[in-house]
Structure 1
Amino acid sequence: MQNKVLFLLTLVLISISSYAQRGVRVAYIDTEYILENVPEYQEAIAQLNQKADKWKNEIAEKLSAIEQKRKDLSNEKALLTKELIAEREEDIYFEEKEILDYQQKRFGPNGDLFIQQKQLMQPVQDQIFAAVQDIATNRKYDFILDKSSNATILFSAKQYDISETVIRSITRTAKRTQAQSKAERKAAKEEELVPEINLEQEARAKALEEKKKARESAIEEARQKKLAAREAKVKAAEERRQKILEEREKAKQAKLNARNKVSETDDNEEDDKTDDDVKEEAETETDTTETKTRAQLIEENRQKKLAEREARKKALEEKKKKILEERQKALEERQKIRDSINNINQNK
């Protein structure tokens, strides 16, 4: 067998050297992998394994029965004559021989299991061979090797493996065979058996696609980092702005409280003045205005003080109104900033 393999390899090398000038196209298949992916073959193998298990159980039961007979004979030897012992031993021997013959019939080199495996393998091997012939013709291959055969292949690049193509070809053939309606048979007939594929071009396209995916992944990662940094900056700016607005609001409220307190103090001082004070002020003005009576002067002073008090209240109200308007304006500006930030986030 080794000499045959070496001879075949020598022929392959000689052929390759003869085709070297024009370029040799070589591919390989893995028959074991193909068989594992052919559903019909796997179903048949499963059924055959069920049969083999049934046969094994039958043989095991019969051997167990014979072993029990041996034990019974061993226990009864003291009660039996030599003739009976010899007769029973002969019966056990013949029964055991029958079981071994049955085992050889089922599992021997030419047994039922081997024959049925060969019967199952032959159609699939024929399909594989036909598919390989079509692929070799369409793609103009010079050699197609079998990785699972006795020929030793030390290295094989995945891009030269056409096992998947063979599986697809077998699947298409099965579809055409199983087609029942006229339309199905026509569609199956028109279906291309083995598409023309340039392996080198396919490998280059695959490499370019992988590079493109890697580049897109790097770009997306960089974009996500930029977006995260931008969001962090916006968030930090918003927090600073919010803090400044809160501090400003506190300062305004403190000033307003202080002004209210001062105004209330002035009003209390004015209310604390007695009629004697008013009289004294009126008497002071009598010297400069002799034509006015005392009562008129007192009334004028009172009206003057009331006017001043009203003016202060009016000024205070205007200040309060202005502060409230500034506060409302600040709130509106804050809302506008929040709306703009939300719009930016939505656009992202």
Structure 2
Amino acid sequence: MKTHVFLLLIATMLLSTSLEAQRASGVRIGYIDMDYILENVPEYQEASIQLDNKVGKWKGEIETKLEEVAAMKKQLDNERALLTKELIEERDEEITFERDQILEYQQKRFGPGGDLAIQRRQLVEPVQDQVFNAVQEISAAKKFDLVFDKSSDLMMLYTADRLNISDQVLRSITRAAKRNQINSKKDERDFDIDEAKTVEQDKASQERQRVIDAKTAERDAALEARNKDRETQKAERQAAFQERRRLLLEERQRKKDSIQAVREAKTTTSSGRSTPTLGTDPANAKAAKEAAIADRKRKKDSIIAVRKAKRDSILEARKKKTTPPAQNGNDGDGR
């Protein structure tokens, strides 16, 4: 069991490596689904139905024999009190023999090397040969480097539909079957017509797939470009935010230092000391004090100017209101 799991892991790693190689270096990989193919091959389905009928018959024979043994056992239990020891032993031996015969028959029909396993293998082998030939033909025509079987023990975690060539294998098997059924010139002409249609359909399908792949690649490239542009814009916004934050912090620190310098200068002045506070530069304290005085003076001058302008405006309005309008010289007598 451990060996089997180990082989599965190795196969999975090989598949992953192959998929990476396909993306990196153009290695073409495909896969088939053998179960799907078998379900759609008419010859296999007909033979499988016949085999299932045989299996049902074998199971019916086993059930009949088991019922006969059960009846023998029940009859022995009912007659045990009336039989001698020798007869009881003889009946038990007969029942045991019949049970052994049933077990032997089960192994013959359903055991690992029994009729069912052999006939299933014989049933599948012709289709497997056809699938193998079809896969070789398709791989050579379409340049596939690797083809896996999805229904095998190989653990395939993800498979893209565009890599599935099961339908192509089925068409190849169907064409081969039709070719073997040609019995006349008419059949041959009909086959050639169908073959030409199939070829055209394959070409159209390949062209559609090529267009789909191109659109997918274009969409992926556009999406990647948008993501890169979005990341670039995000980085630029983050950098601008950090720069604004840095400038704001520096401005706050300058204001804080200026206020602290003014406070220290006031403390020094109010105490009447000629020496500055410990840790304060006299030149900086003087400059801060002068800046604060100048700032207060500018604010005061601005307030005075605003008040003066407002007062002048009010006086001008009053003056215009109280002054009578000028009169013309001809208003007295009309002359």
- TM-score normalised by the chain length of structure 2: 0.56
Q: How does 1:287-306 map to 2 (within 5 A)?
A: none
Q: Could you say which residue in structure 2 is the equivalent of 1:202?
A: 209
Pairwise CA RMSD: 2.7
- Alignment check: 8 A CA contact 2:12 2:155 kept: no
CA displacement at 1:95 relative to structure 2:
1.1
Letter in structure 1 aligned against 2:131:
I
| Number of equivalences | 208
Query: In the alignment, what sits opposite 1:24?
Result: 27
CA contact (8 A) 2:22 2:28 kept: no
Where does residue 128 of structure 2 map in the other structure? 125
State the shift of 1:155 in Å: 1.5
Mapping for residues 195-274 of structure 1, pairs under 5 Å = 195=202, 199=206, 201-202=208-209, 204=211
Deviation at 1:46, TM superposition (A): 0.4
* C-alpha distance in structure 1 between counterparts of 2:106 and 2:135, whole Å: 38
* Partner SS, residue 144 of structure 1: strand
Q: Distance in 2 between matches of 1:196 and 1:68?
A: 68
Give the superposition deviation at 1:2.
Answer: 2.3
Q: Kindly indicate whether residue 89 of structure 2 is the aligned counterpart of residue 82 of structure 1.
A: no
Instruction: Indicate conservation of the 8 Å contact 1:139/1:197, yes or no.
Output: no
Quote the Cα distance in structure 2 between the aligned partners of 1:6 and 1:189: 46
Q: Does the CA-based 8 Å contact 1:28-1:147 persist in structure 2?
A: yes
What 5-or-longer segments of structure 2 have no aligned partner? 216-335
* Alpha-carbon contact 1:139-1:196 (below 8 Å) kept: no
Deviation string, structure 1 residues 284-322 (Cα, Å, up to 9, x no partner): xxxxxxxxxxxxxxxxxxxxxxxxxxxxxxxxxxxxxxx
Change over 3 Å in CA distance of 1:206–1:34 after alignment to 2: same
Which structure has the greater CA radius of gyration?
A: 1
Structure 1 residue 28 displacement after superposition: 1.4
Equivalent residue, structure 2, for 1:51: 54
CA deviations over 1:119-178 (Å, ceiling 9, x no partner): 000000111111111111101112212111111111212222111111111111111112
Measured in 2, the distance between the counterparts of 1:54 and 1:133 equals 39
Match of 1:295 in 2: none
- Contact (CA 8 Å) 1:159, 1:203: kept in 2 or not? no
Q: What residue number does 1:229 align with? A: none
Is the deviation greater in 168-177 or in 180-189? 180-189
Equivalent pairs: percent with the same residue? 49
Q: Name the SS of the counterpart of 1:6 in structure 2.
A: helix
Q: Decide whether the 8 Å contact of 2:12 with 2:156 is kept in 1.
A: no
Alignment correspondent of 2:151: 148
Distance 1:134 1:197, change over 3 A: farther
